[in-house]
Amino acid sequence: MRQPKSILITGASSGIGEALALEYAAPGVHLALSGRDGARLEAVSEQCRNKGAEVLAAVLDVTDRTAMRAWIAQVDSAHALDLVIANAGISGGAGTAGGENEDQARAIFDVNFTGVLNTIWPAIDAMRLRKRGQIAITSSIAGMTPLPGAPAYSTSKVAVKAYAEALHGALKPEGIIVTAICPGFVESRITEQNNFPMPFFLGAPKAARIIRLSLTKRRVSIIFPWPLAAAAWLMGLLPPCWRVWILSRAPKKT
């Protein structure tokens, strides 16, 4: 597979998105980066430029469908997109004593699922005309089974994982590869708020290297680290009543 030269990444101002931007940054590479924090996004963009990449950065909210479509069209017209990574995501209220509220749940789904739709569909429309391209959607190992401690977050990740895998089958005949990225605990602004044990914790640069290598293999899904993935898979095989009973007793945020 040819190495991508025009790459768009949402949620690029921190965490996995930032690490992926730096991983792909190189001479001859065109990066389109978006995020909600202008200062952090500019800092990431400058680091990528220092590595030789051409960078177009935009402060955008992925829930703004009109703005996302206009920006992606602008990027694609300048440099036809090879790879789009729908990475922006949020959590909130997960595992806390009071649990998440309705507003948090709706906000999480708006970003984690609707934001993905707003990112990938303008790109898919353009890639279909060329009959080539790759879409990657960041889910989570939490997307392998719904978690009582994080109902909206885990369920939104279940949804985007399933959607990515279904789209892979639907779009592959048209030359478009869609991949679900399902990492475990990775260094990010989300995990830095966790005050419970995070087994097999990975630094963001290492996670980005794993993702980049795996994307070149055009896989349906990328799930890592494998011990945590195996545990999540086994948990998913349990009857729902057992699984909920066990997971309801997992450590919670204070």
| Alpha-helical runs (H) found in 28-114 | 38-50, 65-78, 102-109
Residue 82 is given by DSSP the state S
pLDDT given at position 92: 66
At 95, the pLDDT band (50, 70, 90 cuts) reads very low
Q: What is the tens place of the pLDDT at every residue in 110-134? A: 999 999 999 999 999 999 999 999 9
Distances (CA, A) of 112 to 90, 175, 201: 7, 26, 22
Q: What is the tens place of the pLDDT at every residue in 8-31? A: 999 999 899 999 999 999 999 999
At 200, the pLDDT band (50, 70, 90 cuts) reads low
99 has pLDDT over 90: no
Residue ranges and CATH numbers for the domains of the chain are: 6-247 (3.40.50.720)
Options 71, 109, 153, 224, the catalytic residue: 153
Mean pLDDT, the chain, rounded, equals: 89
Residue 163 appears among annotated catalytic residues:
no
204 has pLDDT over 90: no
